[in-house]
Amino acid sequence: MIDSTTLYDCIIVGGGIAGLQAALQLGRYSAHRVLVIDAGKGRSTFCQNYGNILGFPNGISGEELRRIGREQAEPLGVEFHEDRILEAKKEGENFLLKGAEGESYRSRTLLLATGLIDRFPRLPGLVETLGHSVYVCPDCDGYEIQDRKTVVLGAGEAGAQMALILSDRTDQLLYINHESKPFKPETMELLREHQIEYMESVVSQVHYEDTGIINSVELEDGKIIDTERGFIAFGGNHVNSELAEQLGVETLHNHHVETHPRSKMSNIENVWVAGDLGAHSEQANIAMGEGAQAAIWINKTLMKMKRADKENPVHSH
């Protein structure tokens, strides 16, 4: 149980890749009381294998990265608490957060690393293959399908555009429009030009080997389609921008946040944003960099605050 009267120097909302990297950086300053509040689930918990992170040539799962991050940060005094923050507001010079179970949290600075939620159907076998042989990011994992038979499972224009992007990697592509959503006629023509097979059908199951390697998808009519790799692209991902918007943070049309390019601070003073909530390339390694960068500037701000407290002890918090 968190003491609601405690004033933290920084609260990080989100214990994914960006939040943990920021926590590690802030902890190493040995000067601040830092709390990470995490709901326990996020984009990184679904990825079974990140293949493009320096130092992990065989890849590493999101869960393992999160475990390692906590193990690194906790000895530095960083505190962790599981909760889902529903409300955020400014209270005087500080911030007040309220969780799903009614707990309250107070801090001088705030880092929002709340990320996003990918939209995709929870088909049997799909989650088990994510990161191993079924992917979401062509920049991260287009390499993995080079010259392999690949199924793109998606919806409408989003899935069609993913298939077109991947056509540079392999000429063995099938796009299954799982939701039978319409898309532009000119996009259909491009699929034909690139010799990308197309069908509208509901996929009922993903079949895979024990190692998480997909070998086929099963359609609702029982038909089996063999494949070596897969990509998903359904569009409509949910950006977790609610807390940012409650605080007055400006968001783009797609609900991502544009931050200061150097400090990662939002337009609201002492509110930083890092990771997939921000407008960036949505990669784990970039989220790490943003988390570290935000933490550096949070430290600068906190040190100024603490110097001011010493100079004006009557007005310190």
Task: Give yes or no: residues 242 and 189 share one domain.
Answer: no
Task: Give yes or no: residues 178 and 134 share one domain.
Answer: yes
Mean pLDDT taken over the chain: 95
Task: Give yes or no: residues 14 and 111 share one domain.
Answer: yes
Q: Average the pLDDT over 39-55 and give the result.
A: 91
Domain final residue pick, 233, 262, 291:
233
What local confidence, expressed as pLDDT, does residue 41 receive? 87
- Let me know: does 300 contact 306? Beta carbons within 8 Å: no
Q: Average the pLDDT over 298-305 and give the result.
A: 98
Task: Give yes or no: residues 296 and 224 share one domain.
Answer: no
Q: Which sign does the torsion angle of CA 248, 250, 253, 257 carry?
A: negative
pTM recorded for the entire structure:
0.94
4 pLDDT higher than 70: yes
Measured distance CA(266)–CA(250) in Å, rounded? 8
Tens of pLDDT along 103-118?
999 999 999 999 999 9
Domain final residue pick, 205, 233, 261:
233
Task: Give yes or no: residues 222 and 243 share one domain.
Answer: no
Kindly state whether residue 2 falls inside one of the protein's structural domains: no
Give the three-class secondary structure for 231.
strand
Task: Give yes or no: residues 242 and 228 share one domain.
Answer: no
What local confidence, expressed as pLDDT, does residue 314 receive? 63
Distance of CA 169 to the CA centre of its chain: 25
Tens of pLDDT along 198-239?
999 999 999 999 899 999 999 999 999 999 999 999 999 999
Block residue for tokens 């007005």: 315
What is the pLDDT confidence band of residue 316, given thresholds at 50, 70 and 90?
low
pLDDT above 70 covers a percentage of the chain that reads 98
Tens of pLDDT along 152-205?
999 999 999 999 999 999 999 999 999 999 999 999 999 999 999 999 999 999
Give the domain range for residue 36: 7-117+237-311
Q: Average the pLDDT over 122-145 and give the result.
A: 95
Task: Give yes or no: residues 172 and 260 share one domain.
Answer: no
